[in-house]
Amino acid sequence: MKKDFMDKTIFIVDDEPDILDALASVIQIYLKINIVLFNSSVEALEKIKSGDVPNLIISDIKMPMLDGLKFVSEIRKLNIRKPIIIQSAFANKKEAIQSLRLGVYGLLDKPVPHELLIHEITRALNMEEYALIAEQLRREKDLLITLFQKFIAKNHERIANVENLLLNESKVFSKNKNKDKLATFLKDINESNAIDREVSKVFQSVNELMTKQEEQINYTN
C-alpha cells in the first residue's frame, strides 16, 4: 500500500532527463506525492524564489551553471529550511563536509537503491511534519503563558475587589457607589471565567499537539 503524502510536494533537480524520469517513476510506485521535475537548478531556484517552496528537494551535485552545493547555498540564503537530499555518483569527502555545513538532510550515492531512497524521503517528510508540530506547539505554549499572566492579573483585581466589598459589607446595598463596585466585581468574575475557558481550550490544543508529536517521533523511528 502506498504511503499517502498527497499534501506534500517534492522538487527533483538533475540535468539528466533519464535520471529525473527514473527517480519519479520509483517514487510514484511507493508514495502518493506531488513531484515536480527540473533539469536545471537555475530554473528550480527561480521557482523557489517565486514563493513555490516544496516540502522536500532532491538534487544532484554535478550540474552546469549552478552545481548542487551552490544551489543549496542559495536556498539557505532565502532562509528556507526545508529538508534537502543530495545525490551524486562522484561525491567526495570535501563535498560531503560542505553538504553537512549547509544543513543538507542526506547525501546519497548514485545509483540509489530504491528502498533506501524511499526510506530517506519518507523520513525527511516525517521530520518536516515533526518540525511543524513542534513550532505550532511552541506558539500554543507562548499563548498559554500569556493567558496565565492575564488570568493572574485579573484574579489580583478580583481579590482586591472582594477585600474592598468585605470591608464595606454592611453598606453594599445602601449606596449606589457600592452597587457599582458589586457590578464591577461580577463583571470581573465573568471575565476571569472567560479566561479560564480560553486557558482550557489552549491546554486541550497543547495536549493534542503533544500526542501528535509523540506519534510522529514513533513513526519516524
Count of other CB atoms within 10 angstroms of residue 27: 20
Count of other CB atoms within 10 angstroms of residue 38: 21
Count of other CB atoms within 10 angstroms of residue 132: 13
Residue 71 pLDDT exceeds 70 = yes
**28-52 mean pLDDT:** 95
Asked whether 27 and 33 are in contact (CB, 8 A), the reply is yes
Q: What is the pLDDT of residues 189-213, one digit of tens each?
A: 555 556 566 656 665 665 666 666 5
Q: What is the pLDDT of residues 79-119, one digit of tens each?
A: 998 999 998 876 566 777 787 778 888 888 888 899 999 99
pLDDT at site 99: 79
Q: Is the peptide bond before 111 cis (omega within 30 degrees of 0)?
A: yes
Q: What is the pLDDT of residues 134-162, one digit of tens each?
A: 677 677 767 766 766 666 666 666 655 55
User: 34 pLDDT band (50/70/90 cuts)?
Assistant: very high
pTM recorded for the entire structure: 0.63
What's the CATH fold of domain 3-112?
Answer: Rossmann fold (3.40.50)
pLDDT at site 199: 58
Choose among 94, 54, 71, 53: nearest CA to 15.
71
